[in-house]
Amino acid sequence: MKRYRVRQFSIMLVITLLVVSSGLVAQAADTLVILHTNDTHARLEPFAPASDAAPIGGMIRIATLVDELREDNRKNVLLLDAGDAWHGTNIANMFEGRSVVEVMNLMVYDAMTLGNHDFNYGQTALAERQEEAVFPVLAANVLRETTGEPIGFSAVIKPIGDLKVGIIGLTTPDTPFVTHPKNVVGLTLDDPIERAKSLAGYLRPQVDVVIALTHLGIDADEELAAAVPEIDVIVGGHSHTRIEEPVVVGSTYIVQAGEHAQELGYLEITVEGGQVTDVSRKLVPVDAEVVDHADATKVVEKWGQELKEKLGQKVGTAAILLDGERANVRTQETNLGDLVTDIMRKTVDADLAVNNGGGIRASINAGPITIGDIYTVLPFDNTLVKVEMWGRDLLDALEHSVRLYPEQNGGFLQVSGLEFMFDPSREPGTRVIDVTICGEALNLDKVYTVATNDFIAAGGDGYGMFESATIIVETGEMLRDAVVSYVIGEGTIAPDVEGRIVVVE
């Protein structure tokens, strides 16, 4: 594997550029194959999309496809990632993305751009991952407030066969709202279009092809293509869009490859005299017919063993039983439900928090608490979000929560920051008779901030009223990881049942 160290230097004020080649721009017709991934969210291993389905996806299978395509020496191959690669599964989250970077190094990526969730571990971990990567990590419009300089490289010029390829990296300006705000303190997200205009204008005379490697989403990519015609290809991410045929805006081709390493994006372009004259596009399925890459599998197995050991680590002590029994969390307030929702509310500083009881899958006995215990309680990949919603919609949500009582219901809400009373003798939809939030009566015409999980925020368990709420913070942080952090900070846990949910007998 080729390894190299890169060093930042400034051009055009605060624009940084990594140049790894020199020489004249090619004039004869040549081809370039762009292999690309985006929004893999640390899916290193194949996974089953449904309980009865065969495992699909996984970076260890994409590594096999990349090797096979590179073996065709007639083609110049470029491997790119459009962000949100380092966070999303236990084997990544427990090691702050180091496992993913090691696999990407083995695959010899040519470049990646930062996605919003690549900031999820904080800036210290982000800088460490950038240092560990043997490929350039691009972030042209992510600037330090103190110096105005990008936190990584703005662009790279790479020789691919006889071609010179300029690659610009851009990150969504919404990053402060789609990772935890604490992760971007001291950073400014500049206008990606204005940034791209400056860089594309600088690169265009020096290269045969200009690629924007973006984590902006398909709508923003189309705006970028219209505003910066010097860009030949936009390899995008963020919106998880599955683009089978390139979206064409002017003379710019836009591609994405869905999500979760389920397909490998393939775009072959013919370049002549600095112009793209022909394209061929496909999405290569990462299915059961693709074998696991032997070397990548060894890397993942090594981290898997470390994960097993990590899950056994003690993080705190439960002074009493933390009640997560199925029958209880689906019908009544429990001390574990109170604990989880309190952590949610405090983590994002919301007025209140709600979490579906069905998301709590086990109790924790009095005694030592391990990371594995918490992961067993909260096994789903639910992330923490903060929304704004009207009081009337909150009332609808509480009515929906208790509509099936006394039947067990996975959508029964555990709550924090509010107390409510309901009468099960009334018709569903009219059962809630009293609600207080932070000690004051619920105001139907007031907007409240609510911490919840991304499943509920998307309308899961029938909570359609949340679909009209406004998401103001999408942390990307797994709920279970927030609980782990809290328990580590507290040491000993002893929550009481506080009477937040009262049933009128």
DSSP class per residue in 361-406: ---B-SEEEEHHHHHHHS-S--EEEEEEEEHHHHHHHHHHHHTTTT
In order, the DSSP letters of 84-142 are --S-SSHHHHTTTTHHHHHHHHHHT-SEEE--GGGGTT-HHHHHHHHHH-SSPEE-TTE
> Would you call 335 helix, strand, or coil by DSSP?
helix
What is the per-residue pLDDT for 17? 66
pTM score:
0.84
CA nearest neighbour of 433 among 468, 146, 441? 441
| Distance in angstroms (rounded) separating the CA atoms of residues 370 and 487 | 10
Contact between 114 and 142 under an 8 Å Cβ cutoff? The reply is yes
Beta bridge partners of 503: 422
The DSSP code sequence of 194-263 is HHHHHHHHHHGGG-SEEEEEEES-HHHHHHHHHH-TT--EEE--SS--B-SS-EEETTEEEE-B-STTSE
DSSP state of 23: S
Tens of pLDDT, residues 100-117: 999 999 999 999 999 999
List of residues 6+ apart from 24 with CB closer than 8 A: none
Torsion of CA 353, 358, 359, 360, to 10 degrees: 90
Three-state DSSP state, 471: strand
d(CA 481, CA 42): 16
- Residue 289's contacts (CB-CB under 8 Å, 6 or more residues apart) are none
Smallest Cα–Cα separation from 284: which of 261, 269, 268, 265?
Answer: 265
Give bridge partners of residue 453 from the DSSP assignment.
Answer: 384
Per the listing, tokens 């935890």 go with: 180
Residue type, 31: T
Q: Please choose, from the candidates 225, 207, 208, the residue with its C-alpha nearest in 3D space to the C-alpha of residue 216.
A: 225
Coil/strand/helix, residue 5 = coil
- Provide the terminal-to-terminal Cα distance of the chain, rounded to the nearest Å: 70
Task: Provide block-wise average pLDDT over 10 residues at a time, the chain (505 residues).
Answer: 31 50 59 97 91 90 97 87 95 95 98 96 96 98 95 95 96 89 92 97 96 98 98 97 98 97 97 92 96 98 96 97 96 98 97 96 96 93 95 98 96 97 97 96 97 94 94 93 96 96 94
d(CA 444, CA 318): 38
**Residue 441 phi/psi, 5° resolution?**
-60, 140
pLDDT for the residue 257: 98
Residue 333: its pLDDT value, please?
98
Distance CA 265, CA 35 (A): 5
Residue 179 is predicted with a pLDDT of: 84
Q: CA separation (Å) from 109 to 41, 66, 99?
A: 16, 10, 15
Asked whether the beta carbons of 163 and 233 are under 8 A apart, the reply is no
HSE-CB of 392 using CA atoms within 13 angstroms: 3
* CA-based torsion, 238, 244, 247, 253: positive or negative: positive
Structure tokens, 97: 């993305």
Indicate the residue type of 49.
P
pLDDT computed for residue 9 by the predictor: 29
The predicted structure's pLDDT at residue 397:
98
Q: In angstroms, rounded to a whole number, what is the distance separating the alpha carbons of residues 335 and 360?
A: 12
**Rounded CA separation 383/367 (Å):** 27
